[in-house]
Amino acid sequence: MNGIHDLGGMHGMGPIAPPAEEPVFKFDWERKVFALFCPAALAAGFNVDEFRHAIEQMDPAHYLESSYYEHWLASFETLMVEKGVLTQEELDARYDELKGAA
């Protein structure tokens, strides 16, 4: 599919600006999202291709604006709901609850 993820050859994406050093995970939430991959794949029964496909379904503007592990998070949420492990209502309700408590 020729979606927004198909970035090869696009112009105007700006400088790469590689830093000399960077941590493996910049934030604790990134560390968590990364580590969730295997248990999430086992729990929901998805493979890497389905995982990637779910990333490619993201809204194109959001895809470009969000960071790598946000793509993973979006994919997990989509697949958990699609595979029937969680419902969107459960996710939304828990988010609201946490937001209220924050």
Partner 1 sequence: MPHDHNHSHTEPPSDVVLRVKALESLLLEKDLIDPEALDLIADAFEHKIGPRNGARVVAKAWTDPEYLERLRTDATAAIAELGFSGLQGEHMAVVENTSTVHNMTVCTLCSCYPWPTLGLPPVWYKSAPYRSRVVVDPRSVLAEFDVSVPDDKEIRVWDSSAELRYLVLPERPEGTEGWTEDQLIDLVTRDSMIGTGFPKTPTDIQ
Residues at the interface with partner 1 (CB under 8 A): 5-19, 22, 24-27, 29-36, 38-40, 43, 48-49, 52, 55, 64-65, 67-68, 70, 73, 76-77, 80, 85-86, 90-91, 94-95, 98-99, 102
In the complex, minimum distance from the CB of residue 81 to partner 1, in angstroms, rounded to a whole number: 11
**56 contact partners, CB below 8 Å, separation of at least 6:** 1, 3, 4, 5
Report CA 4 to chain centroid distance, whole Å: 15
Q: Least distance (Å) from partner 1 to the CB of residue 88?
A: 11
Concatenated DSSP letters of 21-44: ---S-SSHHHHHHHHTHHHHHHHH
- Which residue, 7 or 57, is less far from partner 1 as judged by CB? 7
Work out how close the CB of 99 gets to partner 1 at its nearest, in angstroms, rounded to a whole number.
Answer: 6
Residue 69 DSSP SS3: helix
CB of 43 to partner 1, least distance (A): 4
Nearest to 24 by CA among 34, 37, 38: 34
